[in-house]
């Protein structure tokens, strides 16, 4: 019985670990020449998604050096898997 329980518990732990890393936020430091649109485009997201995620308007000015976060694109078409 114990031999069947240990692999089951290990596989549940692996699933929980993978799901936690798949939903991680992706921080980004704004570089010269970047704006909300270019950052969203580079991450395969809409400007609205990135703006709402950061609590700023879609036409917000992003100063160089500011850190914004965008939702991870893991598992999405075109995202890193």
Q: What is the pLDDT of residues 25-78, one digit of tens each?
A: 889 999 999 999 999 999 999 999 999 999 999 999 999 999 999 887 554 444
Q: Does domain 24-71 correspond to CATH entry 3.20.20.70?
A: no
Q: Where are the domains of the chain?
A: 24-71
pTM, full prediction? 0.59
Range 29-61 burial, b when 16+ CB lie within 10 A, else e:
ebeeebebeebbeebebebeebbeebeeeeeee
Give me the pLDDT at residue 38, please: 96
């Amino acid at each position: 019985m114990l031999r069947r329980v240990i692999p089951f518990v290990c596989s549940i732990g692996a699933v929980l670990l993978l799901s936690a890393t798949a939903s991680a936020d992706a921080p980004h430091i704004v570089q010269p020449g970047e704006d909300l649109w270019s950052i969203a485009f580079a991450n395969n997201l809409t400007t609205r998604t990135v703006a709402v995620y950061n609590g700023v308007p879609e036409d917000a000015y992003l100063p160089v050096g500011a850190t914004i976060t965008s939702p991870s694109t893991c598992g999405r078409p075109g995202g890193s898997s």
